[in-house]
Amino acid sequence: MKKIYLFCSNGMSTSLLAQNMQDVANAHNLPFEVKAFPIGTLGEIIESKNPDCILLGPQVKYLLQDTVDRYGQNGKPITVIDSSDYGLMDGEKVLKTAIREMKKAKK
């Protein structure tokens, strides 16, 4: 099971998106666990749960480079969720983005 974890200011709105993504994954029998967390728990969650893909909410995109520098070693994909997909809570598009990033990281 691949873990896709979303991080935003406090995890509230991202929780809705994560649930939409999980619903899409479940509907297509895809082996993903999608969860959302507040950005303040980023280091702790990465260390303890070792996600396969890290998605940052648009409101914390300023943390992208620092997050990549700290946790992007060993090819773990880290990216910012597209703001329009986030605003529309488009779980399918964001899930596809995560899958694409994980595939790119394998190459």
The pLDDT value given to residue 75: 82
Above 80 in pLDDT, residue 107?
Answer: no
* pLDDT digits 0-9 by tens, 60-81: 999 999 999 999 877 899 999 9
| CATH code of the domain covering residue 75 | 3.40.50.2300
pTM, two decimal places: 0.94
Q: Of 45, 27, 26, 28, nearest to 36 (Cα)?
A: 45
Of 6, 8, 46, 81, the catalytic one is 8
Looking at the 3D structure of the chain, how many domains does it have?
1
DSSP structural state of residue 81: P
Q: Tell me the two tokens of residue 3.
A: 């873990």
- Phi/psi for 36 (5° steps) reads -120, 145
Show the domain range for 97.
Answer: 2-106
Above 90 in pLDDT, residue 89?
Answer: yes
Average pLDDT, the chain: 94
Q: Tell me the two tokens of residue 53.
A: 């893909």
Q: Of 107, 86, 73, 87, nearest to 97 (Cα)?
A: 86
Q: Are 3 and 50 in contact (CB under 8 A)?
A: yes
Place of tokens 């297509």: 28
Active site residue 8: yes
Mean pLDDT for 1-26 is 93
